[in-house]
Structure formats: C-alpha cells, structure tokens
Amino acid sequence: MKISSEEALMLIESLRGVGEIDSWIDHCVCVGNCASKIAQSLGLDEDYAKALGFVHDIGRALNNKSHTKAGYEYLKKLGYDEDLCNVCLTHSYLNNDVNCSAGGLSKQDKERKDFIKNHEYTEYEKIINICDLMCKTQVMTIEKRLIDLILRRGVHANTQYHIVETFKLKKYFDDKLGFNLYDLFPSIKDNL
Ligand SMILES: [Fe+2]
C-alpha cells in the first residue's frame, strides 16, 4: 500500500502523546518538507519524498531506543510498501554501513548489518539521509547539526568517519543540483 504525504502527516500526528517524547514529530515534518524541496529541484516525486521524511522516525513513538526496527515493523504491519518501511531502517546509516551513524558504534544484529550493507540506496533514501542531517525541528547546516549531535551523544570511535561521510553526501547533492544545496533553504541563514 502506498501513502500520500497528507496521509503520512495524519499518521504521525495520530501518534502524538503515544511515545515518551513528541519532538520527533516536528523533526519529521522538517525532514519531509526539506526532502520535498530537494526532490522537486531534482525533478523527482516531491510528495513521495515528503511522505518518506514524515514517517522516517515513526518508530520513536513506539520504541525510542530501537526506533529504526520499531518503525519498520509498525509500517509493515499497517500494510505499507517495502520501500516506505525501509526508510525507517536506512535513514540513520551512511555509506551502506551500520557503523556510519551518529552516536557510537552499532549494536545492530547481523541481519541488520547485512541488510544495510547490501541495500541499494534509492535517491529518495539518500535525500532522507541528508535531510535528517540538516533538520532538528528547523532546517540548519550539516555543520550545526553534527555539532548538535556530538553535544548530545558524545564523540565516539566512529564520529570522524560519520562526519566525513556526511560531508561527502552533501557534496553529492551539491554536484547533482549544480549549486550549493543550502541555496534551496534561505531560512538556513536565520539558524546559524
Ligand atoms: Fe530523524
């Protein structure tokens, strides 16, 4: 089953008050709106990109510690297509590597490691990856977002690796767009 961005927004709003915290909902709205803008600029399906952004952290309503798997299983149970469910798993990891993530080396099981290693990231999943690294509840530079993550989650053995891959992903989109990704988001200057 497919989902529109409108339905995705209703779905996450219906979970307000369910988890320990609700800030993930405003974060997902930011990621969805940011993703839609990038998709539009690249001639991709902006509503689909927006829907993916809206649901990517949906697992946080159910299990904040293991939100990627919880989100995947929740959407799967509701009958949504695999590509929508997958964004819950892929959004935290860069470079097809479960260890390329903020907040320390992965404790994921072999099945998850293998899935991320062998999964061919779609353009949409890459868009969600970069938007997750440009959004808290407002859009910001990756530099500011990475510092925010370090301040909250600390510096770990894989932090440098994650930063390097984040910069590579930003360059990937700069090159695809033919201009600086930040140019799509003038409000970024209000949030330096
Ligand atoms: Fe996120």
pLDDT band at 63 (very low <50, low <70, confident <90, very high): confident
Average pLDDT, rounded, for the chain: 96
Please give the domain boundaries of the chain with CATH numbers for all domains. 5-191 (1.10.3210)
Q: How far, in Å, from the CA of 110 to the mean position of ligand 1?
A: 23
pLDDT of 10 > 80? The answer is yes
Whether the CB-CB separation of 55 and 1 falls below 8 Å is answered with no
Taking a 5 Å cut-off on Cβ, the residues next to ion ligand 1 are 57, 132
Whether the CB-CB separation of 83 and 40 falls below 8 Å is answered with no
Report CA torsion sign: 173, 39, 72, 31. Answer: positive
Whether the CB-CB separation of 53 and 34 falls below 8 Å is answered with yes
* Placement of tokens 């470079």 in the chain: 95
Give the phi and the psi of residue 167 in degrees, each rounded to 5.
Answer: -65, -35
The rounded percent of the chain whose pLDDT value lies above 90 is 90
Q: How far, in Å, from the CA of 76 to the mean position of ligand 1?
A: 19
Q: How far, in Å, from the CA of 114 to the mean position of ligand 1?
A: 22
Mean pLDDT of 32-52: 98
Q: What digits encode the pLDDT tens for the residues 87-132?
A: 999 999 999 999 999 988 877 788 999 999 999 999 999 999 999 9
